[in-house]
Structure 1
Amino acid sequence: MNTNLLIGGIFGAVAVTAAGSYAGYNSYVENKTPSFAEVISSKPVTETYYTNREECYDEVVQHQAEVKDQNKVTGTIIGAVIGGVIGKQVGGGNGKKLATVAGAAAGGYAGNKVQGNMQQNDVYTTTERRCNTVKDPQQRVTGYSVTYSLNGETGTVVMDHEPGATIPVQDDGQLVLNKPETQQF
């Protein structure tokens, strides 16, 4: 047997095997689903909720002092006595009596008014604690709106975690959207 023929046959078999392997590999690569989708952007999806807190402050409050002499008798009597004494100093005879009575009446009226003004202005102040419930808005991230590219097409999904630069793709072409569980030892 001719050795050239044998060597040529071996080279031919190797070439056919290599060409077939190359064609089979290209066919496999063309039909294979990528194992990752490229993340283009990731934006947090948030919701607003409210927390209550109590806001307190001190307020100065004026109070009317308790009136012990509602009818202002003390002021009326003192005013009448003083007015009568002053009226007695004026005039003579029956005029003196009339001036004393008029002075007592005017003094009583004035004493009543003076005591009323004093009672009205008799106030005291206290500091009282006032509190209100205030609602503070808070934000929490509920997921991420992720725009991705897979096989030349762009899509958007909402994920429960931030994916990073890529999203895993299953053999059937579906994205793996859930966060992988971490092993705990």
Structure 2
Amino acid sequence: MKKPIIIGSIIAALGIAGGVAVGAYQSSESGPRYADIVSVDPIVQTSSTPREVCENVTVTHQRPVKDENRIAGTAIGAIVGGVVGNQFGGGSGKKIMTAAGAVGGGLAGNQVQQQMQQGDTYQTTEQRCSTVNDSKQETVGYDVRYRYDGEVHEAKLDDKPEGERVLMRDGKPQWEENPQSS
């Protein structure tokens, strides 16, 4: 066989083999490609709404004091104490006992009136209000991580992606298309 024919045949065979290899490579590139979804984390937003809460409570009040110095109690106590003190002793001792009874009765009357005034109370029902905050958490989107061609990428989506993979077209994820789970 002639040398040029052999060389030509070898070159033709190599050309055909190269064309088949390139065609096989291109056909694998033109098929659907997917990225693996690595993680899906919800983006949570917390909002707080104030509202007023009211309740009725019983409140005890002290009545206003008409005799702040408790003169009436002191005077009545002194009179009663003087009368009682006058019943004891004789001569100048009677005068001392009357005076002592008046002083003691005055102090006792003053204390009795003070206790009566402190115990003179009344109750009312009052409305007490306060502001409380109601907290609410809402998912407003999703942080999604996916692996494509050995690299991890991130995306923020409004809706949670379904499945474990996402269809890729021209190196970009096609989130709106339904992925094929494996």
Whether TM-score is above 0.5 comes out as yes
- Counterpart of 2:107 (choices 65, 88, 109) is 109
Q: CA deviation at 1:136?
A: 3.8
- Counterpart of 2:130 (choices 129, 132, 135) is 132
In structure 2, the CA distance between the partners of 1:91 and 1:160, relative to structure 1 (3 Å rule), is same
Q: Point out where structure 2 has 5 or more consecutive residues left out of the alignment.
A: 1-19, 178-182
Q: Give the match for residue 71 of structure 1.
A: 69
Instruction: Write the letter of the residue equivalent to 2:159.
Output: H
Instruction: Write the letter of the residue equivalent to 1:105.
Output: V
5 Å-filtered alignment, 1:65-104, equals: 65-104=63-102
5 Å-filtered alignment, 1:41-52, equals: 41-52=39-50
Aligned partners of 1:33 and 1:173 also within 8 Å: no
Instruction: Write the letter of the residue equivalent to 2:64.
Output: E
Q: Give the match for residue 156 of structure 1.
A: 154
Q: Give the match for residue 16 of structure 2.
A: none
Q: Give the match for residue 120 of structure 1.
A: 118
How many residue pairs get matched? 157
Q: Give the match for residue 173 of structure 1.
A: 171
- CA deviation vs aligned residue, 1:69-102 (integer Å, no higher than 9, x gap): 1121221122122112212212334443443343
Q: Which shifted more, 66-75 or 133-142?
A: 133-142
Q: Give the match for residue 32 of structure 1.
A: 30
Q: CA deviation at 1:59?
A: 4.8
In structure 2, the CA distance between the partners of 1:154 and 1:109, relative to structure 1 (3 Å rule), is closer
Q: Point out where structure 1 has 5 or more consecutive residues left out of the alignment.
A: 1-21, 181-185
Structure 1 length normalisation: TM-score? 0.64
Q: Give the match for residue 7 of structure 2.
A: none
Aligned partners of 1:39 and 1:164 also within 8 Å: no
**2:37 partner SS:** strand
How much identity, in percent, do the aligned residues show? Answer: 43
In structure 2, the CA distance between the partners of 1:25 and 1:69, relative to structure 1 (3 Å rule), is same
- CA deviation vs aligned residue, 1:44-80 (integer Å, no higher than 9, x gap): 1223332223345555544322112112122112212
1:120 and 1:146 mapped to 2: Cα distance? Answer: 71
- Asked whether 1:147 is paired with 2:138, we answer no
**2:94 partner SS:** helix
